[in-house]
């Protein structure tokens, strides 16, 4: 986290390779904001965990404690450039 706070310039790459050899991808470049305000972090973290664990899964002890942990952060990317390839 210290590195990101010291230098907020980031890039994220998402790509896929299909069985037929098709390759697609996207790159986002920009600046990241580290958000620690619980009024933003708690609902956003809850939404993210619910997406992957379901409404019941997010109520389990582990994700529930992570959501309200004072060290929990949300990183928001502000894209400045976007590149795509493939279809």
Instruction: Report pLDDT digits (tens) over 54-72.
Output: 999 888 988 889 999 989 9
What stretches of 1-87 show up as alpha helix (H) in DSSP? Answer: 2-6, 38-57, 61-68
Number of domains present in the structure of the chain: 1
Kindly report the CA angle at 38 between 68 and 75, in degrees rounded to 5? 95
Q: Which residues contact 10 (CB under 8 A, 6 or more apart)?
A: 4, 29, 30, 31, 32, 77
Domain extent at residue 45: 2-85
Q: Find the CATH number of the domain harbouring 26.
A: 2.30.110.10
In this predicted structure, the answer to whether residue 22 has a pLDDT above a threshold of 90 is yes
Q: Is 25 helix (H, G, I), strand (E, B) or coil?
A: strand
pLDDT class for 76, splitting at 50, 70, 90?
very high
Which helix (DSSP H) or strand (DSSP E) does residue 83 occupy?
strand 74-85
Share of the chain above pLDDT 90, in %: 77
Contact 51, 2 (CB under 8 A): no
């Amino acid at each position: 986290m210290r590195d990101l706070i010291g230098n907020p310039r980031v890039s994220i790459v998402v790509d896929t390779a299909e069985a037929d050899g098709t390759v697609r991808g996207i790159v986002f470049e920009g600046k990241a904001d580290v958000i620690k305000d619980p009024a933003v972090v708690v609902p956003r973290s809850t939404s993210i965990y619910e997406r992957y664990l379901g409404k019941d899964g997010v109520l389990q002890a582990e994700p529930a404690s992570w959501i309200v942990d004072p060290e929990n952060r949300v990183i928001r990317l502000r894209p400045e450039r976007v590149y795509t390839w493939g279809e």
